[in-house]
Amino acid sequence: MDPSPVFKLLDNHVVIARVFRPFESNLGSNIVPHMQDFMLLGSQNLVDFRDQIICLNDEVMVTDDSNPRNLSTGRPIKDLLNASMFFIGNTFYSDFRDYTNIDYGDLIEKWAKDNPEKNLGPFEKKKMEYTTIADLEIRLGYPYVFVHLGSCEHLITFVDARLMVPDDLQNVDEYPLAVETDTNLLMYCGVCDVHDTSYYVDDEQLPSKPMNLCEQCLKTFYKKNDLLPPSTDDVFYKRLPPKKPFEVNVLEDMEDQE
């Protein structure tokens, strides 16, 4: 979807935020969920959102013990490194609930100053714990970043925003709500695990059968001279039906209010 214009949410807006698996992290672990969706309220604080984000890299055990296998003395890394930051618009929102937390915004700002050819900045820096969702200026469908553990970076995006309706859970204490991820919208390729899938493939040669593949992987494996040979008894493929795009209805809601 094309990003919406920049706008500000209201306190009584419900916004759907999507958090993707980390891009890449030197902490290993690839078994994190592809993504998590949350329903947030405009009146909520960014730290409420942050605290709901689950990343298995947080659970990596670290120990001072000289025997690294002795996990009984270990602690999850998140207890030692609890700094985190959202980068939204041109602003770093850093978690300073623990005053000893590293300021990732400072580090990036310094890096930008040391690399003027990159043409980055100036940036603004704010505290996550003093910022509500309604304070943000966002664009729906636009990629923003969440960073924690020093190098674990997740893409986040706001996929929808609208006024609360009677069908929504009315108890505001229950938010942020983790919502079922609609697997209809995005299913990662069984081979590269990066792109959305567009083909159903049934082939003995693949690690599992059947498997959904992306356009690129299908092309790499099966296309000959840029043509896809017809399915055979051994190899069957079929294009998956197109997926519904995200619905963006915030602008209509905003107009209704005036």
Give the binding site for Zn ion (CB under 5 A): 22, 55, 57, 152, 189, 191-192, 195, 214, 217
Residue found under tokens 């296309």: 223
What is the smallest separation between the CB atom of 143 and Zn ion, expressed in angstroms? 16
Distances (CA, A) of 13 to 41, 83, 142, 160, 213: 6, 28, 18, 10, 37
Q: Please give the span between the terminal C-alpha atoms of the chain, in angstroms, as a whole number.
A: 26
Q: How far is the CB of 198 from Zn ion (least distance, A)?
A: 9
Give the type of residue at 219: K
Largest CA distance in the chain: 65
Q: Looking at beta carbons only, is 57 or 131 nearer to Zn ion?
A: 57
State in angstroms the smallest separation of the CB of 22 from Zn ion.
Answer: 4
**Residue pair 16/185 in contact by the 8 Å Cβ criterion:** no
Nearer to Zn ion, 49 or 161 (CB): 49
Amino acid in the structure at residue 152: C
Smallest distance from Zn ion to CB 152, Å: 3
List beta partners, residue 61. 76
**Nearer of residues 22 and 176 to Zn ion, judged by Cβ:** 22
Write down the least CB distance from residue 218 to Zn ion, Å: 8
Nearer to Zn ion, 7 or 222 (CB): 222
- CB-wise, 155 or 254, nearer to Zn ion? 155
Residues 6+ apart with CB under 8 A from 107: none
Task: State whether residue 212 is helix, strand or coil.
Answer: strand
* Closer to Zn ion by Cβ: residue 179 or 192: 192
In the complex, minimum distance from the CB of residue 189 to Zn ion, in angstroms, rounded to a whole number: 3
C-alpha angle 199-204-209 in degrees, rounded to nearest 5: 50
What's the rounded Cα separation, in Å, for the pair 57 and 40?
Answer: 24
